[in-house]
Amino acid sequence: MRPAFAVSACALSILLSSCASHSESRAEKRANENDARNAALHWLQLLDSGDYDEAFEFEAQDFRMSRTQSQFVRLMQARRAPFGNALSRKFIGAAHLERFVGAPEGNYERVLFKTAFERKNPTAERVILIKQPIGWRVIDYRIY
C-alpha cells in the first residue's frame, strides 16, 4: 500500500505543478514533455544496463561538477544495483518547472515513472532534466 501511496502522491504533485507555467503554448509544452521523457528514458536505460559511466556523461554539465565520475558510478551502484533489473517502466506524467531547489531558474521538466524491479516492489522513479543547447540533460534522480 505504501508504494502505491508514494506513486499517487508524486503523480498528484506533477499534475498540480503543471499549471505553473502558462507562457508556453500547449504544442510547445507537449513537445518539451515528449523530448524530456525520451531523454529520461534513454538515461534510465543506461542505468538499467549498468552503463553508469555513459549515464554520468548524459547529466547536465553544470551539475556534474559537483561530483566525479567515479563518485557517480559508486552512487548508482549503491542506489540501483540492489534492486536488480528493471522489469517494466510506465510513464506517469511530466511537469514543467522554472525553479528547482538548489538550482538557478531555468527550463526544467520533472518526469515520473512507475517501475517494477526484480528485487523491489513497483515504485516511483523521478527524473528532473534541464533543457540545454545540446538537449535535455539529467540533473536529479530519485527512487521512492
The pLDDT tens digits of the residues spanning 26-60 come to 888 888 899 999 999 999 999 999 999 999 999 99
- Cell output for 11: 503523480
Where does the pLDDT of residue 103 fall: very low under 50, low under 70, confident under 90, or very high at 90 and above? confident
pTM of full prediction above 0.85: no
Which pLDDT does position 18 carry in this prediction?
Answer: 46
More confident residue, 103 or 47: 47
